[in-house]
A and B are shown apart, each in its own frame.
Chain A
Amino acid sequence: MAMPKEKRNGTLINFAAVMLGFVLLYLLKTSGLISNYYQGIIIQCFFTIIMVASLNIATGYLGQLALGHAGFMAIGAYTSALVVKALTNADILNGGTDLEKIILLVIGIACGATLAAIIGALVGIPALRLRGDYLAIITLGFGEIIRVVIQNLKFAGGKGLAAGQAGQALIGIKILNNVYFIYFIMAASIAILFCFVRSKSGRAIVAIREDDIASEASGVNNTHYKVMAFTIAAFFAGVAGAIFAHRGTGTIQPADFTFMKSTEYVIMVVIGGMSSLTGSVIAAVALSIIPEILRAFSEYRMLVYSVLLIIMMIFRPIGLCGRYEFSLRQFLIDLPQNIKNLPRNLQRFWLSCLQSAKDFPGRVKSFFSKDKGRDDGDNDETEAVV
């Protein structure tokens, strides 16, 4: 049987949307609206999207809190940077033309992602025997180990390779920041992760999250699928790392991949919604851009950021999207109806905003009043008990 018709339409629509995005990017770039500064932020958005979406596989879909994702990013970044360095030093490819730059980046991404996936599997096999807090601690530990090992590698510091020096930032990395190409890498990554999630593997992984005893009793090989999910997450962290290394500053250092970085990505996954790739994309873009916008209030920046997080946790603990996935096809189908209902929906939205504002003191009070465990949904009940 071939692809069902509505699926094929959906794929075509999504493909068209990706191309539309490319055209938009191209027009903005050629018209000079995108300065180097903006391009840097756009590229940051792209690799953050890949990071958050991949982490969502391990943390959202598989349900295992992984706190060492930046470690895999570091592997991808350093591997690709060094491979590209070696290739250019040996003058095999010097990255003079755009095409050569793209080839170099592809080789860098392939090497970085593969090594990250291998290390991911090696870490995953022992680590995934543990669950919950223990797994969080061990992934945190592995993330730090990776960073510290890199810090002490002679060929991964200073000018790198033979001219390297341990304990320094790696400098003189080739700049390979073709924003169009990175855009396509990002789109392809999301497409691959989405296909993965909507398959037997994705179902098995979600089943393990829901009830690992039942999944095993239904014939799912838990270890196999856990390691698979973890490896895929590490692979795409490697992809993101490779893009990060060549993003334009020409330097990376172990301090770019600390535990704090991993935590930031976990926060993005939670805000976007566990097991929603749509949410991951939105959260990654928003949380990459917001700090830049808030640069004007430099000293209040982190404060605003934290307050946003708290408000988020009070009003929508399941994250922006929860488990919702955006479907462009469905959106287009529903569009006429939605436009017709727009005034009513806007009114409803306005009323719910008013209601939220009215509830705000109560919500805040109940949020801080006592330990409610994980169930933050029913604040009214808590208030009644209090």
Chain B
Amino acid sequence: MSKEAILSVRNLGISFGGLKAVTNFNLDLYEGELVGLIGPNGAGKTTVFNLLTGVYIPTEGSIHLNGISINGKKTHQVVAAGAARTFQNIRLFKTLTVLENVKIAFTKDIKYTLFDTLFRTGRFWREEAEITAKSMELLKLFNLQDKAEAIATNLPYGQQRKLEIARALATDMKVLLLDEPAAGMNPVETAELLECINLIRQKFNVSILLIEHDMSLVMKICERILVIDYGETIASGLPHEIANNPKVIAAYLGG
């Protein structure tokens, strides 16, 4: 591809003491692309996510997002640079309402100052109204608009996932990192999730990096797949190539 990659990762690695959790990880994610990241349990998939989002500081390699290096940046700076994520175990602001959950992701976009806050200036009300409207729009997209005032933890599991994705989208990102979004979902919910991911791609033109164990889902929606095992990339390519790759089969079945 001639285009510049939105997310470009070179030789990324991290060691915890003597243990090399991830080594030599390379990835080029182009605009609007959906890449799957798979591998057996403990292979280092989530560690890659943590490296990409600034939770861990890489011990080697480089990460460029939109041409800007985000090595060693803090998570909120990475989010501001344009990469947002969801979590393997859903992390919502549990006792807050659905609407508030989404509004919090707009915090960095709000420009009003402490002065505006204390004196409730026109700017305060305008910006608050703006982000409320934007949040409601996002919720509508995920069919959550009727639950806007519900407490987040009271939502059913599938909707909590959707809310988490909506919150990530609210950060106005270019790259979305989804960590096992279908984990613990029944087939109906997974189908809904699939629809939801397709919708996001149409509407927002984001690039998605997806960790997932549900192979049918991965094979259905991913354009390319990376497989890692013991922190090393053992295969990468199109879904049907991966499915027939002997190394991948060995890693999964222990050959």
C-alpha spacing A203/B101, complex, angstroms:
9
Q: Is the CB of A220 within 8 A of B76?
A: yes
Q: In the complex, what residues of A have CB within 8 A of residue B55's CB?
A: 213
Q: Is the CB of B105 within 8 A of A200?
A: no
Q: Is the CB of A217 within 8 A of B93?
A: no
C-alpha spacing A11/B120, complex, angstroms:
10
Q: With A1-B122, A2-B125 in contact, do A219 and B93 touch (Cβ < 8 Å)?
A: no
Q: Is the CB of B126 within 8 A of A1?
A: yes
Q: Would you call B191 an interface residue if the criterion is a C-beta within 8 Å of the partner chain's C-beta atoms? A: no
Q: Is the CB of A1 within 8 A of B125?
A: yes
Q: Would you call A206 an interface residue if the criterion is a C-beta within 8 Å of the partner chain's C-beta atoms? A: yes
Q: In the complex, what residues of B have CB within 8 A of residue A199's CB?
A: 112, 117, 124
Q: Is the CB of B114 within 8 A of A201?
A: yes
Q: Would you call A3 an interface residue if the criterion is a C-beta within 8 Å of the partner chain's C-beta atoms? A: yes
Q: Is the CB of A218 within 8 A of B105?
A: yes
CB proximity of B129 to chain A, nearest CB, Å: 6
Q: Would you call A214 an interface residue if the criterion is a C-beta within 8 Å of the partner chain's C-beta atoms? A: yes
Q: Would you call B95 an interface residue if the criterion is a C-beta within 8 Å of the partner chain's C-beta atoms? A: yes
CB proximity of B181 to chain A, nearest CB, Å: 15
State which of B28-36, B77-85, B142-150, B193-201 sits at the interface with chain A.
B77-85
C-alpha spacing A106/B124, complex, angstroms:
28
Bitwise, A208-231 to B at CB < 8 A (1) or not (0) is 001101111111111000000000
Q: With A217-B53, A220-B108 in contact, do A206 and B93 touch (Cβ < 8 Å)?
A: yes
Q: Which of B95, B117, B125 contacts A195 (CB 8 A)?
A: B117
CB proximity of B32 to chain A, nearest CB, Å: 22
Q: In the complex, what residues of B have CB within 8 A of residue A210's CB?
A: 92-96
Q: Which of B79, B125, B126 contacts A218 (CB 8 A)?
A: B79
Q: In the complex, what residues of A have CB within 8 A of residue B93's CB?
A: 206-207, 210-211, 214-215
Q: In the complex, what residues of A have CB within 8 A of residue B53's CB?
A: 217
**A196 nearest CB neighbor, chain B only:** B117
Q: In the complex, what residues of B have CB within 8 A of residue A219's CB?
A: 76, 79-80, 84, 105, 107-108, 171
Q: Would you call A192 an interface residue if the criterion is a C-beta within 8 Å of the partner chain's C-beta atoms? A: yes
Q: Is the CB of A214 within 8 A of B171?
A: no
**A232 nearest CB neighbor, chain B only:** B114
Q: Which of B76, B91, B129 contacts A211 (CB 8 A)?
A: B91
Q: Which of A2, A192, A207 contacts B96 (CB 8 A)?
A: A207
Q: Would you call A343 an interface residue if the criterion is a C-beta within 8 Å of the partner chain's C-beta atoms? A: no
Q: Would you call B234 an interface residue if the criterion is a C-beta within 8 Å of the partner chain's C-beta atoms? A: no
B110-149 contacts to A, CB under 8 A, are 110, 112, 114, 117-118, 120, 122, 124-126, 129
CB proximity of B162 to chain A, nearest CB, Å: 15
Q: Would you call B68 an interface residue if the criterion is a C-beta within 8 Å of the partner chain's C-beta atoms? A: no
Q: With A207-B104, A214-B92, A214-B93 in contact, do A221 and B124 touch (Cβ < 8 Å)?
A: no
Q: Output the residue of A204, A207, A214, A215 with the most chain B CB within 10 A.
A: A214
Q: Would you call B74 an interface residue if the criterion is a C-beta within 8 Å of the partner chain's C-beta atoms? A: yes
Q: In the complex, what residues of B have CB within 8 A of residue A207's CB?
A: 93, 96, 104, 107
Q: Is the CB of A2 within 8 A of B122?
A: yes
Q: Would you call A336 an interface residue if the criterion is a C-beta within 8 Å of the partner chain's C-beta atoms? A: no
Q: Would you call B87 an interface residue if the criterion is a C-beta within 8 Å of the partner chain's C-beta atoms? A: yes
Q: In the complex, what residues of B have CB within 8 A of residue A196's CB?
A: 114, 117-118
C-alpha spacing A323/B92, complex, angstroms:
18
Q: Would you call A4 an interface residue if the criterion is a C-beta within 8 Å of the partner chain's C-beta atoms? A: yes
Q: In the complex, what residues of B have CB within 8 A of residue A221's CB?
A: 74, 76, 108
Q: Would you call B174 an interface residue if the criterion is a C-beta within 8 Å of the partner chain's C-beta atoms? A: no
Q: Which of A7, A192, A214 contacts B118 (CB 8 A)?
A: A192
C-alpha spacing A211/B104, complex, angstroms:
12
Bitwise, B163-185 to A at CB < 8 A (1) or not (0) is 00001101100000000000000
C-alpha spacing A221/B94, complex, angstroms:
19
Q: Is the CB of B125 within 8 A of A222?
A: no
Q: Is the CB of A203 within 8 A of B79?
A: no
Which residues of B does A touch, CB under 8 Å? 53, 55, 74-76, 79-80, 84-85, 87, 91-96, 100, 103-108, 110, 112, 114, 117-118, 120, 122, 124-126, 129, 167-168, 170-171
19 contacts between A and B (CB under 8 A): A1-B129, A7-B125, A199-B117, A203-B103, A204-B107, A211-B92, A213-B87, A215-B104, A216-B74, A216-B75, A217-B87, A218-B84, A218-B105, A219-B79, A219-B80, A219-B108, A220-B107, A220-B108, A222-B76
A-B pairs with lowest CB-CB distance, top 8: A210-B93, A219-B79, A214-B91, A199-B117, A219-B108, A218-B105, A216-B75, A1-B126
